[in-house]
Structure formats: C-alpha cells, structure tokens
Chains A and B, each alone.
Chain A
Amino acid sequence: MVLFTGLNSATMNKILLIEDDEIMPKVVARILQPPDYQLDHVSNGKEAFEKLEATGYDYALIITDIMMPYANGFEILSKVKSHDREKPIPVIIVSNAGNEDMIMEAFKLGADDFLKKPIIPAELIIRVKRLLMNK
C-alpha cells in the first residue's frame, strides 16, 4: 500500500470539501480517511463561508467544485487566498467544467491544482499529499 503511507499520522490533516453533488463527498470521504485526514463537507458556498469563519480558516487543504449555489468556487478561492494568513490554504478545484477559460481563471485566482471530473481517486490522493507536503 504505497499510496497510503508516507504521512505523519500524528498530525491529522483537516480538509474541507465544498461540493453540491451527492456522490463526490462519499467518494472523497472514503479515500481521505482518518487517522491521516479529517474531512469536513459542506454543499454550497454559503455553508462554506460559514464553516470557514466558524473554524477560523483552520484547514490544511480545501477541495472545491466551481458551479454551486450562493457562491461559486472562484469566489471561495478568491476569499481563501486573500485571507490573512502566513501561508494561504492550498486549494484543489474539482470540477466538470471543461473549457480552457475556466481552468485558466482558476489558476489566475491562485488555485493550486485542477482536477476534471471524473477523477481518478488515486490521483487525488497523490495530489493532496503533495500539497500537504509543501506545507
């Protein structure tokens, strides 16, 4: 099980997943499990902001969709990246949006990674790890 080792299990990584589809959270919850990860899930932009405020932006990583009610992924991205922190929280965009404009825009706003749906779960794990390693 090469993929699942290599992280210091003493530090639980808190991850926030923002996604309005009902399947994706179940998938991500299954592949990013304790003790290495603690996953919180919210299903729209409003809940996302509420959650971030309530926890004081205390997340090691954010995974977000783009098209969602209340606030889209770009707004969340922009707010997270401009939040006053020593080092901004890394953000992975997971979206089915396929046109180049959107991908460019996401990176322009500071996204750290972009995965297009359908995702390869093993790939998501590797990318999550890589971003957490840089922390």
Chain B
Amino acid sequence: MYIQVPEFLEPAWNLFQGAPLAIQLAMIFIVITTVITLLAYVSILRNRFRGYQRAKRLGKLLPLLDNLIVEEVLANQDPLAQTQPDAVQLNLESFYQLPLHKKWARQATTDRIIHFRRNVRGNPGRLLRTLYLQLELDKDNVKQMKSSKWERKVRALTEFIEMDIPIADVTILPLTNSHNRELRAAARHAYIKLSKNEPFKFFDVVTDPLLMWDQVELFRIITTTEDIAIPNFARWVTYSSNRSVVSFCLKLIVHYNQLPAVPAVKQLLDTKDHYLRAEAINCLGKLRVPDIEDKLVYMYSSQPLQCQIEILKAIGRIGGGQHIDFLKQEFLHSTNFDLRKSAAKSIVKNESIANKILQELLDTADPGRLLILKHCMNPLIKY
C-alpha cells in the first residue's frame, strides 16, 4: 500500500507501518482523541459565545418590553369600560419598534407575556392574552405544534395552556395516545384546559398511571381554570379501574369539598388495595363525614398499619366525640408507637370534648405515654 504523506509526517508514517497492530491502533486513536478534544473546545467556545450574545440581546430587549407591556396592559384598565378585554384593540405601534421580525425576539416576548400572566390575572390577564394574539405570536406556536420533535410539541402545548388558546380536539386527541409519555401527558393537560366539550373525558379512558408529577400539573389546571365545569368526581371513584385516577379524584373531592361524592368514597373502604383504602379514609376524615366514625372503628382491628393510622387521624378530624374512649384505648394499649402518637394527637385535637379524659391520662400515664401527650399538646411542635 502506498500513500503519499507530507514530509514532516514521514517518520511517524514509517513507525506506523512497522508497528504491531496494537501500536497501530493506539496511533490511530491518538489522532481521533485529539480531534475530539479539539472539537470539544470549539463547542465550548461557541456555546459560551452564543450564550453571551443571547444574554446581551435579552438584556436590551426585556426592559423595553416590560415597560411597553405594563403601559399597555395595566395603565388603561378601566373596570367600568364597556368593551371586553378580549375585544380591545391594543395600540401596538410602540411594539413594532422592537425587533419582532426576529424569531428569538418573538419567543422572548411570548415568554415574557407568560411570565406576566403568572403574576396577574383578571382584566389585565385577559389583556395580555389579547396582546399575544394581536402580535400574532400564536402563529409561531402553531408552527411549533407541527414539529416532528416531541419536546417542541410539548412546549407548544404548554404555551397554548398558559395563554388559554383553544385547539381543535382533532389536533389534541391523537396526541393523547402518543407513545411518548411526556407528550401524552401534555396533550391530556391541554385537553382538560382547552377542550370545550368534555374536558374530563380522558379520565374514562386513561389506562396508564397518572404520575405524581402529572397530578401536580392537572391539579393546578383544574383548580385555576375559571370557566371549567367541575363534575362530581364520584363517577370515577366508582367506575374507574385506574387506581391513580381514583386516588387523584379523592384529592379533588377534598379540594372541592364534594359531599355528594361521599357514598362513592365510602364504597372504597371495601377495596382490597390498602393504599387506596388508606387514601379513602383520609378523604372521609378531611370531609368530616360524621356518620362514618362507627364504621371506621368497627373495621379498625382488621386493618394494616397505614389504614389504622388514617382511621385514628380521621376520628380526630371528624371530632364527633363518641369515640374518644376508643382513642384512649388505642393510646394506652397499642404496642405501636405511631398508633399511640396518632391516637394522642386526635385526643388533643378534640380537647374541648375530651378534656376530662385528657386530664385523666395526663395524671395516670406512664412516662413514655406522658411524653407523647406533652409532645402533641406543645404548640411549638408542628408534626
């Protein structure tokens, strides 16, 4: 094999040709690693330079932008005005002095409007949305929706949710079954927020678990969307076979204090899944369902620990007063520390009804139990 090599590489080339395979490989890799290292340097420098430029550009744009937004959205808000904020024609002239023909500037403007909307709602909030639409920033986002990359689609959906821009069901629905979990979740959130027909429909069909993370996002969307019709969540507590949906609905029932859902939650007390059962007990306690105490006390002895703790807590929360003796029994005779502590807490919580028993316990309890009582009665201790 003959290859023409520059003169200065001649010795290296000769060495290479005469070397055993291992050495030849080593020589090849020396070149490769050196090239990769150099490329890495170039990437670092390029990345830093770009970041520097971005910061400089934004540093110039944002103060201007903020002033314009504040003036346009907050200055002329007259609550008695006749025009709806959605229909106001904003004075956009001053915005056109910004470099909005550039994509980065449009994106920055969108981000800023979203940031404003996290701080203000009401009329100014709706004016911000009008501003977004009249600057035609939504067009970029429609384009982003069509991207083939899932993370861009997710970003687009999030933006639509934040700006409360309706999307056609036909666009979202296929995405709710996407193979990509993040995209699927984002599409569901968008559907709940933006669909006009039946926002909670996907609760019926979803089969994979709602992660704790999804629940945080869903909870916020459901509780902050102003014109959403809140259904009776008992429907899914009864019929859904997806335990994460049931669990999430229990939290919503507590949040909305949905007393009509109580019978459905009661039925959950017979479920085999004891995590879910504990959550149901917790929910009933927080709703302060008065006639459930007997049932809870009755089922107590056959329950696993976490359900027992929840039962003791629930009785403390409901505070009907009929089962103070039961709490006392558990406090005195349970062998488990957590049960004793939960019982004591519930007794202390119902001090007004149980003050006699509490005093009796304070006088007679052994040092360990006395410490628990003191712990629960100390206002400085939170948990």
Chain A interface residues (CB < 8 Å from chain B): 1-3, 21, 23-24, 26-27, 30-31, 96, 117-123
B122 near A122 with CB under 8 A, answer: yes
- Bound CA span A27–B79, Å: 17
Q: Report how many residues on chain B are interfacial, defined by Cβ distance under 8 Å.
A: 20
Given A30-B70, A30-B74, A31-B74, A118-B117 contact (CB < 8 Å): yes
Residues of A within 8 A of B75 (CB): 30
Known contacts A30-B70, A117-B118; A1/B124 CB under 8 A: no
Contacts of A3 in B (CB 8 A): 79
| Residues of B contacting A2 in the complex (Cβ-Cβ under 8 angstroms) | 79-80
Residue from B80, B119, B123 within 8 A of A27 (CB atoms) = B119
Is the beta-carbon distance between A121 and B118 smaller than 8 angstroms?
Answer: no
Give the interface SS of chain B, mostly helix, strand, loop or mixed. helix
How many angstroms between the C-alpha atoms of A118 and B162 in the bound complex? 12
Q: Are A122 and B66 in contact (CB under 8 A)?
A: no
The residue on A at minimum CB distance from B69 is A26
Q: In the complex the two chains form, what is the Cα distance from A19 to B123 in whole Å? A: 22
A23-B66, A26-B66, A26-B70 are contacts. A122–B119 as well, Cβ < 8 Å? no
Q: Quick check: B80 and A118 within 8 Å, CB to CB?
A: no
B120 interface neighbour in A1, A96, A121, Cβ under 8 Å: A121
A23 and B121 in contact (CB under 8 A), knowing A1-B78, A2-B80? no
A118 touches B79 (CB 8 A): no
B355 contacts partner chain A, Cβ-Cβ < 8 Å: no
Q: Return the chain A residue nearest B379 by Cβ.
A: A108
A122 CA / B127 CA spacing, docked (Å): 14
Output the least CB separation between B45 and chain A (Å).
Answer: 30
Report the bound CA distance from A121 to B70 in whole Å. Answer: 12
